[in-house]
Amino acid sequence: MRDDPFTDQVWTQVSWTGRLPTLFRTTKGQHMSLAADFGLTLTQHVLANQADHPDARGQLSALLTQIGVAGKLISAQVRRAGLIEVWGATGETNVQGERVQKLDQIANDTMIEVLRRSGCVAAMASEEEDDFVVVEGEASGDYIVVFDPLDGSSNIDVGVSIGTIFGIYRQTPSEKVSLDSILKSGREQVAAGYIVYGSSTVLVYSAGRTVDCFTLDPSSGEFFLTRQDVRMPSRTTLLSLNECNEPYWETWVPKLLSSVKGRNEPNHRTVSARHIGSLVVDFHRNLVKGGLYLYPINAISGRGKLRLLYECNPLAFIAEVAGGAASDGHTAILDIKPEKLHQRVGLIIGPADDVALAETLINEA
Ligand code: FDP
């Protein structure tokens, strides 16, 4: 704690990770709520991380900052979602004569345009695009970005939280971009994260060392560091899955559920259920509170629902850095070698012990 000699303010250092101090300002013991008191901005945080890599050329920092810009633009549109719906109902154009687009299309176009202009991206793959998108010429950069522009599509029109998920890979310099440049295992991600458009807009990213969360302050338009070096709680206190898929479950799923629910004591519930139906938002809550999310493969079709490249891999990256785990039941998600751009897998993600328990039950089946 140090006194500011020029004002009556006191700066309190509340935490220090590596070279990242977080300072909160109080006026002689009283907390202030100015945006400037919220801590480091996303840009400051990213640049401080870059200082740990003296050989870095700054492109990854610029890219992460630009993803923050895309997040703000998408967030602004998400907040107007109901209004866009009203315009859409009147025809193909809104009152200003603009073409009405669906929100997931707007989010996709926003990501593609911001990333293309960033000068940091060689190619990208999106849930909304059949094929990968190459950035040609001088605008091309050193990275490949995979993303789901708006995860939780069935929640878009009903005011329920949704999000953007992204994973970042380094493109081998001088190598021409091909499908193989995109089909890399999640382990090769250099950074990953997501943005949740919920009660507040929260951006979470990791470049492999820590997982950090930033909350958008609407008045200043800045993302401020609000959770530092997040660790996923090691005990499962929440279960998230669509229980109506029960007829299509393999036999291990009910066994896992009864094992977790069986931890409840006669007079004390230690495990509860929470399922929003937007993977990224369910994951974010579980990351902070300690929850296990399951979307197992369909036992009849043998197929999973969630996409490996731009849904499961980025979240698995965040989970592992935060001390959790993610698996398809046989292999760590990050070790699966993708064969297709829009490949689907089964997903078990959350506290490492319970992901391991699921794998054991699957092996015993
Ligand atoms: P949605 O179908 O609404 O786009 O992967 C997409 C996803 O949502 C996840 O966000 C969500 O958790 C899951 O699918 C929901 O699927 P079910 O409706 O089959 O439960």
* pLDDT tens sequence across 224-242: 999 999 999 999 999 999 9
Distance 126 CA to ligand 1 centre (A): 16
pLDDT of residue 4: 41
pLDDT bin (cut points 50, 70, 90) of residue 179 is: very high
Q: What is the pLDDT of residues 181-234, one digit of tens each?
A: 999 999 999 999 999 999 999 999 999 999 999 999 999 999 999 999 999 999
Global pTM reads 0.88
pLDDT bin (cut points 50, 70, 90) of residue 85 is: low
pLDDT bin (cut points 50, 70, 90) of residue 365 is: confident
Distance CA 93, CA 91 (A): 6
**Whole-number mean pLDDT of the chain?**
88
Distance 279 CA to ligand 1 centre (A): 6
- pLDDT(23) > 50: no
Count CB atoms within 10 A of the CB of residue 234: 13
CA-closest residue to ligand 1 atom 13: 277
pLDDT of residue 139: 93
| β 238-240/291-295 pair status | parallel
Least confident of 23-27, 57-61, 104-108: 23-27
3-class secondary structure per residue, the chain: CEECCCCCEEEEEEEEECCEEEEEEEECCEECCCHHHCCCEHHHHHHHHHCCCCCCCCHHHHHHHHHHHHHHHHHHHHHCHHHHHHHHHCCCECCCCCECCCHHHHHHHHHHHHHHHHCCEEEEEECCCCCCEECCHHHEEEEEEEEEEEECHHHHHHCCCEEEEEEEEECCCCCCCCHHHHCCCHHHCCEEEEEEECCCEEEEEECCCCCEEEEEECCCCEEEEEECCCCCCCCCCEEECCHHHHHHCCCHHHHHHHHHHCCCECCECCCEECCCCCHHHHHHHHHHHCEEEEECCCCCCCCCCEEHHHHHHHHHHHHHHCCEEEECCCCEHHHCCCCCCCCEECEEEEEHHHHHHHHHHHHHC
Distance 154 CA to ligand 1 centre (A): 7
Residue, of 80 and 223, whose pLDDT is higher: 223
Question: Percent of the chain at pLDDT above 70?
Answer: 84
pLDDT of residue 50: 84
Spatial CA neighbour of 85 closest among 157, 154, 150, 163: 157
Residue, of 89 and 290, whose pLDDT is higher: 290
For range 58-75, the mean pLDDT: 96
Least confident of 24-38, 199-213, 253-267, 348-362: 24-38
pLDDT bin (cut points 50, 70, 90) of residue 112 is: very high
Question: Which atom of ligand 1 has the smallest separation from the CA of 151?
Answer: 10
CA-closest residue to ligand 1 atom 16: 277
Q: Which two tokens mark 188?
A: 């090769």
Question: Which atom of ligand 1 has the smallest separation from the CA of 280?
Answer: 10
pLDDT of residue 173: 78
Which residues sit with their C-beta closer than 6 Å to ligand 1? 151-154, 242, 277-279, 305-306, 311
pLDDT bin (cut points 50, 70, 90) of residue 81 is: confident
Question: Which atom of ligand 1 has the smallest separation from the CA of 281?
Answer: 10
pLDDT of residue 83: 76
- pLDDT(270) > 60: yes
Least confident of 21-35, 282-296, 310-324, 326-340: 21-35
- pLDDT(62) > 80: yes
Pocket test for ligand 1, best of 295, 310, 344, 345 (most atoms within 8 A of CB): 295
Distance 159 CA to ligand 1 centre (A): 15
